[in-house]
Amino acid sequence: MDFDALRKFMEAGIPFNRVLGVKLIKLEKGHARLEIPFRDELVGDPFRPALHGGVLSALADTAGGAAVWSGATDMRVRVSTIDLRMDYLRPARLESIVADARVVRMGNRVGVADVTLFHPSSEHEVFATCKAVYNVSPPKKT
């Protein structure tokens, strides 16, 4: 697994990740850590203020999918979201955000990941958690 090539693909090869500014920090078998640097465009409630919940769930989904993909025995598999449950525990401050995802179950066709979201400045202060389930499809035959 060439980390630099994967990082480039995750950050620039997936258009929505590029829009959000997703950065791949770490990827190893069954574990992924991604970050989105803060930008004013990510604010969902300017009166509170807090980041938009959709940004948080998109980062959690991407991190969970990356963790499941990295846990597969064949790196050519395709991973797609089946179910995503977000628990927003407190507002996300106007700072960069990190999602740390770990595979809790990997089967032949389904993978499950737990994701925690926090600010890099305070990893112990989790502001959202996620349970994500993914379909793992075998590579297409050529």
- Position 2 scores a pLDDT of 74
User: Yes or no: is domain 3-137 CATH 3.30.70.20?
Assistant: no
Note if the pTM is more than 0.75: yes
- Position 13 scores a pLDDT of 94
Domain extent listing, the chain: 3-137
- How would you write the pLDDT of the chain (142 residues) with one tens digit per residue? 677 888 899 999 999 999 999 999 999 999 999 999 999 999 999 999 999 999 999 999 999 999 999 998 888 899 999 999 999 999 999 999 999 999 999 998 999 999 999 999 999 999 999 999 999 998 887 6
Q: Which residues of 75-112 are buried (b: 16+ CB within 10 A; e: fewer)?
A: eebebeeeebebeeeebbbbebbbbbbbbeebeeeebb
Query: Any bridge partners for residue 51, and if so which?
Result: 43
Residues 10/22, Cβ–Cβ less than 8 Å = yes
* Cα distance between residue 10 and residue 8, in whole Å: 6
- Position 3 scores a pLDDT of 79
* Cα distance between residue 22 and residue 63, in whole Å: 10
